[in-house]
Amino acid sequence: MSDLIVNVAVPKPLRATFDYRLPDSLPRPRPGARLKVPFGSREIIGVCLGVSTEAATATPLKAVSAVLDADPALPADVLALVSWAAEYYKHPIGDALATALPGYLRAGRQLQDLYERWWRACPGETGQIPARATKQRAAFEALSRAGPQTQSALRAQGFDNRVLDALAARGLAESTDAPPAPPTATRDGGLELTAEQATAVDALNAAAGDFCAHLLEGVTGSGKTEVYLQVIANVLAAGRQALVLVPEISLTPQTLARFEARFAAVGAYHSALGDAERARAWDGCKSGRLAVLIGTRSAIFVPFKDLGFIAVDEEHDGSFKQQDGFHYSARDLAAKRASDLRIPVVFGSATPALETVHNAESGRYRHLRLTARTGAAAPPRMQVVDLRGQSLSEGLSRTLLSALKSQLGAGNQGLVFINRRGYAPSLVCTSCGERSDCPRCEIPFTVHRSPPTLRCHHCLAQAPIPNVCAACGFDGLRPIGFGTQRTEAALVSAFPDVPVLRIDRDTTRSPQALEHRLAHIRRGQPAILVGTQMLAKGHHFPRVTVVGVLNADAGFASADFRAPEHTAQLIEQVAGRAGRAERPGEVIIQSYDPDNPLLAALIADGYQGFARTELTHRRAAGLPPFRAMALLRAEAAEQAPALEHLRTLLEPIEALADVERWGPVPAPLARRANRFRTQAAVLARSRTVLGRALNLVLERAASIRRRNVRFSLDVDPFDMV
Ligand code: ADP
Ligand code: ZN
């Protein structure tokens, strides 16, 4: 009799899978089931990829220690999606699967342990409990008085399992599993749709039952979410489930509340949740108890019982692309998953990524538009203020200050956007010109005021603010440039009677802190919001009638080919926060380069005009989306070996037709925490050609060992720094 051989993916950055022998004592696992296997000197949790009777190698095999899932943790469709993604992004399958599993399951725990036992009192008398058993008496009284309670609630009152089991043995208490959640339901019918919304909802409803991708283009506040809600109501009525992907920052309690107000069984999935909560949401979708999941990037891998619809909101947002480890794009995988499942998917944005615009223009995606804001009149007026030769007050132009003054005076709110947190982006000696740099990255330290420190935004190093110049000893060090803290201080002194609310990563470490500030703004009293790009995401501020954009157009001049796109999105998104019918918005863009053609295109023709112009450039330059791109990165303690490593890896593809290589060169931020960073790009006519080229690169990488160089591969890179 031949043994069964199990092929296992282990959670290691290894490009191999491993065969194990299945002992007769263990059940035959199905693909996607978790297994406990010996690996090195430890036991680890892997995922079963398949079972066969033949091993790939002749060496004696170790045995599987345990089969953890009878019902595979990863159902076939998710296993296929992750395998496809691992191949497409050239990431080791074991590590990709580990990314897809919630931490709770990765740790080998069982889903049924997630659910609390509930205890309730049975009819009986305290007198049945001996007087010395005071805990049992107290527990019985608590249960009789307060009704059913969870085991952990009882433990918090000092009643442990021993006490409860003793009560149960006396027939005075009993326990049950958590009651199942109520059946999925829609609570109300939603708003009366505008004509454009109705067109979009009809198109999406009509697409049900087959794969079809849609771009839903509409500014913030134009009613995209209402479109998702009404389509989802239809999906649920057909007995199916829906997945809504949102950027990290916009999964606020308010967003969730809006879905919960409409639907009965809504779950959330994001990194701020604890392991058990995440696993509960995951299991809720898999078992069908949840009807709708609102989640960030990794929710794309959550299994569903019967997924019928995917929406990706703010689809241009960078947080959908994982920037380290498994470099997947949840947005792009949403299209893949929808196509696998033959269901509709919608990508919503006011400023769609150029890839998505291109997909819509070439007819691959259906293009739906919401051009009017619900209940709103004209789009905001944009004007550029030429800063050249102007004297500014702490970085603020007279034009902006007087617009703020008159709008605040009229009872409205203002918003000032500056894409840099901290007080000032550098500290410079006024005598010798020496700049305080992060010694590990050789870029300027950012000055912070609360608390006072120098911080490197690149490697997170911190240093005290020096009193004298390290180079010449002079005591006149001056912060140069502006960050949110400095602009906040300037606004406080210009408008002492108006609250100034700063929104950046330093003031909103928790979702609650962000929500608190947003709630303040929603109350509608005069106030000024000052902040970074966090302001540009997802929120609508109807009382804001004036928006100031400080120096944002500097991004048009970056070395990163995507920088113009991201800059235009940022400006358009910030501008789109403002105004509604009775209070039209005014946007003031401060610029030292007011004639920049990209800025001019954006002002004159809006984001769509900009996108057309920029796509023409991309086509001419052979850049994505017109060619497929991957970035090879190498990092080392010195620059030369990192560059050399990339050069070696590129050798096998030197002669390939249809493949172009750029570099290797030092990365735009060439050093980080004393490590030198280098990169090279590979561009190919198609994704298939790119994939083949990258396989050759990886083969070469596997054949050489350069211990001190860290190499990584990023397919469809989101940014180039
Ligand atoms: P988006 O998702 O594009 O930002 P929302 O769906 O959040 O837009 O809509 C913005 C605001 O307009 C919300 O307060 C919403 O309740 C309201 N709204 C949306 N659609 C309608 C409609 N058809 N009639 C009235 N109000 C609407
Ligand atoms: Zn640094």
pTM across the whole model: 0.87
Average pLDDT of span 22-26: 92
Read off the pLDDT band of 185 (50, 70, 90): low
Tokens of 515: 């929500």
The answer to whether residue 88 scores a pLDDT higher than 70 is: yes
- What is the percent of the chain where pLDDT is above 70? 96
Residue 258 CB–ligand 1 contact under 6 Å: no
Calpha distance 365→381 (Å, rounded): 31
pLDDT at 184 over 60: no
Between 585 and 545, residue with greater pLDDT: 545
Amino acid 56: pLDDT: 66
Residue 719 pLDDT grade (very low, low, confident, very high; cuts 50, 70, 90): confident
Average pLDDT over every residue of 560-572: 90
- Which residue from 123, 115, 161 is spatially nearest to 143, judged by alpha carbons? 123
> Between residues 711 and 254, which one has the greater pLDDT?
711
b/e sequence 546-570, b meaning 16+ C-beta within 10 Å:
bbbbbbbbbbbebebbbbbbbbbbb
Q: Are strands 4-9 and 18-22 parallel, antiparallel or unpaired?
A: antiparallel
Which ranges of 578-686 would DSSP assign to H, the alpha helix?
597-621, 639-650
If 0-12 CB within 10 Å is exposed, 13-18 middle and 19+ buried, where does residue 435 land? middle
The per-residue pLDDT for 376 is 54
Q: Are 518 and 527 in contact (CB under 8 A)?
A: no
Lowest mean pLDDT among 263-277, 314-328, 549-563, 687-701: 549-563
Ligand 1 contacts CB of residue 255 (under 6 A): no
Cα 257 to ligand 1 centre (Å): 14
pLDDT of residue 55: 65
pLDDT digits (tens, 9 = 90+) for 420-467: 999 999 999 999 999 999 998 888 999 999 889 999 988 889 999 999
So what's the pLDDT on residue 175?
Answer: 81
Asked, as a colleague might, if the bond just before 625 is cis with ω within 30 of 0, I would say: yes
Between the CA of 523 and the centroid of ligand 1 the distance, in Å, is 18
Please tell me the number of the ligand nearest to residue 189's CA: 1
Predicted confidence at residue 458, as pLDDT, reads 86
Residue 187 has pLDDT above 60, yes or no: yes
The answer, yes or no, to whether any atom of ligand 1 lies below 6 A from the CB of 585, is no
Q: What is the mean pLDDT of residues 546-562?
A: 83
At residue 574, the pLDDT reads: 86
Listed residue (204, 260, 263) closest to 228, CA to CA:
204
Query: How confident is the model at residue 1, as a pLDDT?
Result: 45
- Give pLDDT, residue 558: 77
For residue 649, report the distance from its CA to the centre of ligand 1, in Å: 51
CA angle (481, 483, 489) in 5-degree steps: 105
Measured CA to CA in angstroms, residue 457 lies from 204, 421, 670 at distances of 43, 9, 14
Distance of CA 194 from the midpoint of ligand 1 (Å): 10
Helix axes 134-146, 161-169, angle to 10 degrees: 80
Ranges 205-219, 461-475, 498-512: which has the least confidence: 498-512
Ligand 1 geometric centre to CA of 634 (Å): 46
- Exposed, middle or buried by CB within 10 Å (0-12, 13-18, 19+), for 525? exposed
The arithmetic mean of pLDDT across residues 381-386, rounded, is 89
- Pocket probe mutation, ligand 1, options 192, 194, 215, 225, max atoms within 8 Å of Cβ: 225
Buried-state track 309-347, b at ≥16 Cβ within 10 A, e below 16? bbbbbbbbbbbbbbeeebbbbbbbbbbbbbeebebbbbb
Q: What is d(CA 333, CA 339) in angstroms, rounded to the nearest whole number?
A: 10
Q: What is the pLDDT of residues 119-137, one digit of tens each?
A: 888 888 888 888 888 899 9
223: Cβ below 6 Å to ligand 1? yes
Average pLDDT over residues 595-608: 88
pLDDT score recorded for residue 53? 82
pLDDT tops 70 at residue 686:
yes
pLDDT averaged over the chain? Answer: 90
CB 11 within 8 A of CB 46: yes
Ligand 1 atom with least separation from CA of 227? 6
Segment 148-170, tens digit of pLDDT: 888 888 888 889 888 888 898 88
Distance 157 CA to ligand 1 centre (A): 45
CB 648 within 8 Å of CB 642 = no
Closest Cα partner for 289 from 273, 276, 305, 278?
A: 305
Mean pLDDT along residues 73-88: 96
Site to substitute for ligand 1 among 197, 201, 226, 232, most atoms within 8 A of C-beta: 226
Residues of the chain above pLDDT 90, percent:
62
The pair of structure tokens assigned to 62 is 């170790």
What mean pLDDT is predicted for residues 288-294? Answer: 94
Give the ligand with the smallest distance to the CA of 438: 2
